[in-house]
Amino acid sequence: MAPMTIQSAFFDGGVTQEMIDYYAARSGDAGAVIVESAFVENYGRAFPGALGINTDSKIAGLKKLASAIKEKGSKAILQIYHAGRMANGEYNGGHQPISASPVAALRDNAETPLEMTKEQIGFMIEAFANAVHRAIVAGFDGVEIHGANTYILQQFFSPHSNRRNDKWGGDIEKRTTFPLAVLNEAKRVAADHQRDDFIIGYRFSPEEIEEPGIRFEDTMYLLDKLAASGLDYFHFSMGNYTRNSIVNPEDKELLIRKYHALKSDNVAKIPVIGVGGIAQRSDADQALAQGYDMVSVGKGFLVEPTWATKAINGEECAEFADIEQQHQLKIPTPLWEIMDYMIVDSKAEALKHQRIKELQNVEISFEPGEYTAYGYGHNGKLPVTVTFSDDKILDIIVDSSKESDGIANPAFERIPQQIMEGQTLNIDVISGATVSSQAVIDGVSDAVDLAGGNSEALRCKAREAVEWSKEVIEKAVDVVVVGGGGAGLSAALTALDNGKSVILLEKFPAVGGNTVRTGGWVNAAEPKWVKDFPAIAGEVDYLKAIADTPESDIAEEYLADFRTLKDQLANYFLDTESGKNYLFDSVELHLIQTYLGGKRTNLDGESIHGQYDLVQTLTSRAMESIDWLTEKGIDFNRGMVDIAVGALWRRAHKPNRPKGVEFVEKLQKQVIAQGGHIITDARAEELIVDDGKVVGIKATHSDGTKYVLTTNCGVVLASGGFGANTKMLQKYNNYWNEIADDIKTTNSPALIGDGIEKR
Ligand SMILES: Cc1cc2nc3c(=O)[nH]c(=O)nc-3n(C[C@H](O)[C@H](O)[C@H](O)COP(=O)(O)OP(=O)(O)OC[C@H]3O[C@@H](n4cnc5c(N)ncnc54)[C@H](O)[C@@H]3O)c2cc1C
Ligand SMILES: Cc1cc2nc3c(=O)[nH]c(=O)nc-3n(C[C@H](O)[C@H](O)[C@H](O)COP(=O)(O)O)c2cc1C
């Protein structure tokens, strides 16, 4: 049984009767029960209700626990740990955590630990040794040294948390010193007790996502050193035994296969335990076949206390507990509360199913006529008018005039169509337009009730199964454009203007991407135009501050432009001093502002700024875009110069129509009018490469249809950024101290980095 914290110890970490009952109920079945992590030092708790082995007074309770397990026939092994920088002050009397170096963990509200002195490191090793002594006295058959789950041993080994430059840190060899010292002390204590049979295992997390962080090859180095000292087993710590690298997900090789490929002769001698997601016997068989010598089971034992016996007998093992089983399963309440995702309320589920069945048999009838009800969209009430015959929904009209123009259009077309086609309210919302989709469904639902129908029954009415298409469409075309945002639509139209045939693939139900969500502002320096507008308070002073920027603050490649800007500003200041009042702008000002705005210090302490050739292209050619868009009929408001949200200067060209819909709608119309073929709901997935050259692309429609498109002139990837992909933001971030897992975004949910990272 894998170690699992049950958060049910006394306030000081002493063993409670509840813990004994829980472990006793699961003993005698698995070969060994690895008891949850026990803290070796008073301020090393990682969570409330943690078990402790930090004082001799704990031995009596631990004795009872060990004998309850052994008496049933399982080996009793105790996991020992210290949370290091993960020791939250809240559970440790407000004490600031300690660790190898003062580097906070990358997680919400992580405290920065104090760097351990050499004396503290010595005491910590001694605390582990004392814990081993107490485990022996208490009658345990062994200990598992917790070198995983980001606790203190991992912290000393990790280049992220260990930045020391003494014998405990620096290169990988020195970072191994602390885990090795703990193992050697554990062995010494066992030898002092003349306990050759005392089991000593080591649990490790194979990799860390942090940069720098532990890579699998580093782990194999550590295991080699530990194995050379001698120990009884290694224990992977991971959520699934079939896991591959989390650092390099493209590397699909299973970690256990990598382990065998990279293992040293020393490591080869030590049995290795696999873990994670072993729910049935077949999983255990598969794990053993992959190369683990043993397996451990965690969650399985929570809901199936005789998991091993059932698996050996080839019986099905439960994966969920019923809400009424807590007492019978002897699960303490703190654990029961955190395993809520494994608990089902069978009685309530049965009643629900029965109710759905009943509702599915209800005859639906309406008072014929037209009824108006409301759903709630992005901008408040959304009127929905529904016409009924005595047994059918005949028509649905959604008044979307108040909704965000452009963004939710597919919801207003498709949801009513699907409701009418299926005569059901059991409809999936449309990705990218979930609020509007739900608003339409809710509006129709209320109209159904107004017409004397039964909306609850209609929400349960079975849908026709969608037929999954196996069709493969192969086509040759001059250009394929991936993505129907501003960039994709412009690229498609430019190719069409040049006489090329074009297919544009858009993965969402409607084109628009982030472009349709924009405020509509496009920054482009147009000095002649803005000169007709007066400067406003503060603008001249701001320019003076820019002109006074010391040249030493400007990167070399930007210096020539900066000097040109200073000359321009000197002339401008002469004008303002002579009483002229107008708004100044120039390509050079735009360029220098872009440079200064982007200049910052990254998390590695380096000064970074925008790449000159890109900034130069952006700022010097922005006006070409305005001219081109104007030529394409975009109706810019020339009567005012705006400053875009988040921008540094009044130079935005803004269409009269609010938001980005003006660009998307007009460009889309022209692409279609000029014979471009826009395929929505089609996600581009793979480039077709021949002899190192991209010659096409493969895509899949949401109904399963495959597209294999070959191109004469090429593929344009305009699939946008990755603002809606938090994992990628965290991976590439080198500026913000932290990006929370639940960070919100105004980006379209489509923007997850397709075309940037393979998935
Ligand atoms: C709320 C908000 C407001 C903004 N306001 C402004 C502003 O006022 N002024 C300004 O200059 N900038 C603004 N921006 C930034 C601006 O939106 C972007 O820089 C710009 O829209 C990027 O255009 P794009 O065509 O590259 O990408 P997008 O417009 O995002 O288009 C990318 C398209 O590719 C599609 N796609 C992705 N993957 C695939 C795939 N595998 N297969 C097929 N299709 C795919 C997506 O569905 C999407 O339609 C704003 C951004 C946001 C989020
Ligand atoms: C409630 C709970 C508590 C856990 N506590 C610990 C622990 O104290 N020490 C540890 O190394 N792993 C701990 N784990 C991880 C498990 O040992 C195991 O690796 C993980 O649950 C995956 O195996 P499973 O899918 O069989 O549950 C815990 C897991 C759970 C579900």
Give pLDDT tens digits for 270-302.
999 999 999 999 999 999 999 999 999 999 999
Average pLDDT for 22-35: 97
Q: Which ligand is nearest to the CA of 512?
A: 1
Q: Is the pLDDT at 405 greater than 70, yes or no?
A: no
pLDDT, one tens digit per residue, over 200-224 is: 999 999 999 999 999 999 999 999 9
Q: Which of 259, 268, 338, 247 is nearest to 298 (CA)?
A: 338
pLDDT at residue 97, rounded to an integer: 97
Residue 5 is assigned to a structural domain of this protein = no
Q: Of ligand 1's atoms, which has the minimum distance to the CA of residue 511?
A: 49
**Closest CA to ligand 2's atom 29:** 4
Last residue of a domain, one of 435, 460, 485: 460
10 falls within a domain: no
Looking at all shown ligands, the one closest to residue 46's CA atom is 2
Ligand positioned closest to the Cα atom of 506? 1
Are 163 and 77 found together in one domain? yes
pLDDT band of residue 402 (cuts 50, 70, 90) is confident
- The number of the ligand 2 atom at minimal distance from the alpha carbon of 339 is 1
Shared domain for 238 and 124, answered yes or no, is: yes
d(CA 653, CA 644): 9
pLDDT of residue 406: 58
Q: Are 458 and 386 contacting, i.e. CB atoms less than 8 angstroms apart?
A: no
pLDDT for position 758: 78
Residue 586 CB less than 6 A away from ligand 1 = no
For residues 530 and 391, membership in a common domain is answered with: no
CATH, residue 677 = 3.50.50.60
Question: What's the rounded mean pLDDT across residues 599-623?
Answer: 96
Co-location of 188 and 70 in the same domain? yes
Assigned domain for 4 exists: no
Which of 481, 651, 719 most suits a substitution to test ligand 1, by most atoms within 8 Å of the C-beta? 719
Using CB atoms within 10 Å of the CB of residue 480, give its burial: 0 to 12 exposed, 13 to 18 middle, 19+ buried.
Answer: buried
Pairing of strands 343-344, 321-322: parallel
Domain co-membership, 302 together with 406:
no
Tell me which of 378, 518, 680, 681 to substitute to probe ligand 1's pocket, judged by most ligand atoms within 8 Å of the beta carbon. 518
Q: Residue 91's pLDDT is what? A: 93
Residue from 519, 492, 482 nearest 719 by CA: 482
| Ligand 2, pocket residues at CB < 6 Å | 2-5, 36-37, 79, 146, 148-149, 203, 237, 239, 275-278, 297-300, 338
The answer to whether residues 643 and 649 touch, using CB atoms and an 8 Å cutoff, is yes
* Contact (Cβ atoms closer than 8 angstroms) between residue 256 and residue 290: yes
Q: Whose CA is nearest to atom 30 of ligand 2?
A: 4
Whether the pLDDT of residue 467 is over 90: the answer is no
Q: Name the pLDDT band for 749 (thresholds 50, 70, 90).
A: confident
What pLDDT score does 107 carry?
Answer: 87
Q: Taking residues 27-55, what's their average pLDDT?
A: 97
Ligand 1 pocket, 274 CB below 6 A? no
Residue 311 pLDDT: 97
pLDDT of residue 434 exceeding 90: no
Say how many C-beta atoms besides its own lie within 10 A of residue 273's C-beta. 22
Helix ranges, 407-485 (H): 409-422, 434-450, 455-460
Residue 354 lies in a domain: no
Task: Give yes or no: residues 33 and 140 share one domain.
Answer: yes
Average pLDDT over residues 138-147: 98
Cβ of 410 less than 6 Å from ligand 1:
no
Please report whether residue 569 resides in a domain: yes
What distance in angstroms lies between residue 398's CA and the mean position of ligand 1's atoms? 27
pLDDT of residue 408: 57
Residues 646 and 699 in one domain: no
pLDDT in tens, 529-556: 999 999 999 999 999 999 999 999 999 9
Question: Per DSSP, what are the bridge partners of residue 203?
Answer: 146, 235
Domain boundary among 603, 620, 653: 653
Q: Ligand 2: which atom is nearest the Cα of residue 148?
A: 11
> How much is the pLDDT for 235?
98
pLDDT in tens, 45-66: 999 999 999 999 999 999 999 9
Of the listed ranges 120-129, 187-196, 431-440, the least confidently predicted one is 431-440
Q: Is residue 106 part of a domain?
A: yes
- Closest ligand by atom to 520 CA: 1
pLDDT for 759 beyond 80: no
* Residue 350 counted as domain residue: no
The residue type of 457 is A
Residues 484 and 530 in one domain: no
Mark whether 85 and 190 lie in a shared domain: yes
Residue 151 counted as domain residue: yes
Q: Give the closest ligand to the alpha carbon of residue 488.
A: 1
pLDDT above 70 covers a percentage of the chain that reads 99
Distance from Cα 376 to the centre of ligand 2, integer Å: 43
Confidence of residue 611 (pLDDT cuts 50, 70, 90): very high
DSSP secondary structure letters along 636-702: B-TT--B--TT-SSS-EE-BSSSSTHHHHHHHHHHHHHTT-EEETTEEEEEEEEETTEEEEEEEEET
Number of domains into which the chain is organized: 5
For residue 659, pLDDT over 90 is answered with no
Residue 370 has pLDDT above 90, yes or no: yes
**What is the band of 242 on the pLDDT scale with cuts at 50, 70, 90?**
very high
Domain end: 460, 492, 510, which one?
Answer: 460
Average pLDDT score, the chain: 95
Q: Which of 405, 493, 515, 697 to mutate to test the pocket of ligand 1 (most atoms within 8 A of CB)?
A: 515
DSSP state of 341: G
Q: Is 486 in the pocket of ligand 1 (CB under 6 A)?
A: yes
Domain that holds residue 483: 472-518+661-720
Q: Within this chain, do residues 644 and 715 fall inside the same structural domain, yes or no?
A: no
644 lines ligand 1 (CB under 6 A): yes
The reply to whether 250 and 389 lie within a common domain is no
pLDDT greater than 80 at residue 404: no
Centre of ligand 2 to C-alpha 36, Å, is 8
Residue nearest to atom 11 of ligand 2 (CA): 3
Confidence check: pLDDT of 658 > 90: no
Query: What integer pLDDT is reported at residue 645 of this predicted model?
Result: 87
Total Cβ atoms within 10 A of residue 23: 24
Q: Residue 727 CA to chain centroid, in angstroms? A: 4
Task: Kindly state if the Cβ of 746 falls inside 6 Å of ligand 1.
Answer: yes
Tell me, yes or no, whether 510 and 529 share the same domain: no
* DSSP secondary structure letter of residue 552: G
Ligand 1 pocket, residue 747 CB under 6 Å: yes
Ranges of H-type helices in 58-117? 59-70
Binding site membership of 679 for ligand 1 (Cβ less than 6 Å): no
